[in-house]
Amino acid sequence: MNISVILVRPRNPQNIGAAARAMGNFGLSDLRVVDPYEPTWREAVSAVGAYEILHNAKLYSSLKEALFDADLILATTALKNRKINQAIASLPDIRTYLEESDAENCAIIFGPEKTGLSAEDISLAHCVLNIPTTAKVPSINLAQAVILCCYELSKTESSARKAKFKKPSFKEVEIVQNNVEKMSALLDLPPVLGEKVRARRLAELASKRMLDKEDLFFINSIVNKIISKLEE
């Protein structure tokens, strides 16, 4: 399984450097950084300790761009005061969860130090990854979270099981979502099925990961045919 570590809007160069070093310590190398604060990023890259990982890191302007090839997305967040619609996996159980997922490309996203991931960020994930902590101090430092996750991931079995079916990537799902939204707009649906409602329902459907590549191709083919008929 290919695993990407994604840091969303990080602001502390020491945390970025420590996260990269943790990846190197435990055999991970695919670091992706979304919208970092430029001075902080320059300082982190110049730091000693994880030169190769930091210099090979890919920068993205949005989280969706960074998730383009992921077919399993895990969002790390403290559960306090969060409304979670996805499944929740505890870090000690992450190996079992990944082994049962049959995913090929897994992305684990970590939010900024001050606020954590936004509700919009979390909505893109298939599962929320929770690191068990005491109720009095539910959140932990960004770098510490990356270190703990990298350590647990290093214990996963290296031999991947054959996938039961081909899971679509985030980008493939997004293409179908956009086409369904275009079709919905052309159908002039009632207010109860307005744009915000459609977007939410489509995101929830995608997060359940019930469709494989062939299912999506079938749906997209029909949707595109309907769009063509409606635009005639």
165 residue type, one letter: F
pLDDT digits (tens, 9 = 90+) for 146-189: 999 999 888 754 434 444 556 777 788 888 888 888 888 888 77
Mean pLDDT value across residues 119-141:
85
Least confident span in 12-26, 97-111, 187-201: 187-201
pLDDT-derived band at 34 (thresholds 50, 70, 90) equals very high
- Res. 47: pLDDT tops 70: no
The most confident of the ranges 47-56, 125-134, 196-205 is 125-134
Q: What percent of the chain has pLDDT over 90?
A: 19
pTM of the model: 0.69
pLDDT-derived band at 9 (thresholds 50, 70, 90) equals very high
